[in-house]
Chains A and B, each alone.
Chain A
Amino acid sequence: MEGRATEGEEVNLSEAPLTGRFHGRPSALPVKALLATVVGVVVVAAAAWVLLAGQTYQPPSGTQVAVPLGKATVNGHVLPHVALNFSTYPFSNGTNDGAPVHPGGNRTWPATGPTPNFQVPANALVTVTVRQYDGGAALNDPWFATVRGTIGNVATIDGRVVHAINPNRVGHSFLLQSLPGAASGFFVNVPFPAVNGDWADSGKHRTIVFDFVSGPKGTYVWNCEFPCGQMIALFGSAMSTFGYMSGYLHAV
């Protein structure tokens, strides 16, 4: 360095070959490429696992397969008839006949149990029975208090057939729609009324029963339209985390 400093710009530039190519090493390229691919797959898989399983607010897993009930006739068509049952709870540590919902999830959030994911046959009559254990308040838009897309656009609430409920006393709701490009126009919306009085996980519940005809094969998503989360429009937290107030419905 000292020598160069005094020589100024008279630096010998050709002291080393300019190419960076390295010679005389046996090529281990295939092995390395394989190794790199394996490492890459592991990295991406690990990232996916962290995202899905390592979350603070881990959504529940598991899919409830609808129970076959036989055949039913709808508008002159004979369809398979199946049943789904689920409950909506004020807290994720609420119980469904003793079984905790959302182990490892955020216990202070409302939740759907035992699982928010369902599987039904395609083009079948689905009878859904919901037990709603939560209190409630007003919807952001009263429009969601009407029943739509079910057989007769009605639901049976505690034995009473209704087309709409009080939009200011809603507990949760079930809005089912298709994913882009599939089953155009498929839409189901059923509001669940709130439990009266002292509601917090007291075991009181409302029972909602409704029937709808599932669409063609594919994946559908449902979500709750009652603002039961936090932050803006009360649609944050539980409402914005898949698996608490939302889930898949697979038509197979």
Chain B
Amino acid sequence: MGHGFSTLLYKEVLRFWKVASQTVAAPVLTALLYLLIFSHVLEGHVKIHGVAYTSFLIPGLVMMSVLQNAFANSSSSLIQSKVTGNIVFVLLPPISYLEFFAAYVLAAVVRGVVVGAGVLLATCWFAPLGFAAPLWIIVFALMGGAILGSLGVIAGIWAEKFDQLAAFQNFLIMPLTFLSGVFYSINSLPPFWQQVSHWNPIFYMIDGFRHGFFGVSDASPWHSLAVVATCLALLTAFTLNLLKRGYKLRA
């Protein structure tokens, strides 16, 4: 990875940082509102894995923010560059498809982690949180961010208009994140929906991430790690193949 890669990474980070009120502060505020509303309604009524509801909710919101913002970063950057045409600035230089992929995905991870950290900072005052196994926290945040960042690259390359990207986001990413156990334990679902949830990779990201805080979770963290790592490997291979072929980028 050369200086071309690090410049592209820097440019992608600078891009969202320059408009941090929209790209960082706004999603933190959204997560805070979710916390206030859901914890107000459910605190005291529900305990999950022996953890008070608000405590349980916080890691879910943090991870949801990591994932959604990682996706938003790579997908919106790419679609904007394609629609305005300034994508040529990164297509003309001697940047390899591998460097291209790594820079967009890493920048997405950075955005996800920055927003996630912001959400954690804003919400941790509302309920006690443990940090039972911090390594799991880090591993799942990074891998989850990379998976969604990679999905964002795919969506950003595939979509030709903003509404196609919005469709990808509204009909795939949003349902998968909301139906992943952010707001509840899937053990509280009817058996059918429990089964469905087990096919949702985002469930494993949230569940594994949460395990890092409380040391308990719906699935074993090793099982979650296997699922998440497999997803990441498959998506990386798929995205690299698209980029190598120049799909929709080099006619």
A and B part of one assembly: no
Binding site for A on B (CB under 8 A): none
Name A residues whose Cβ lies closer than 8 Å to a Cβ of B: none
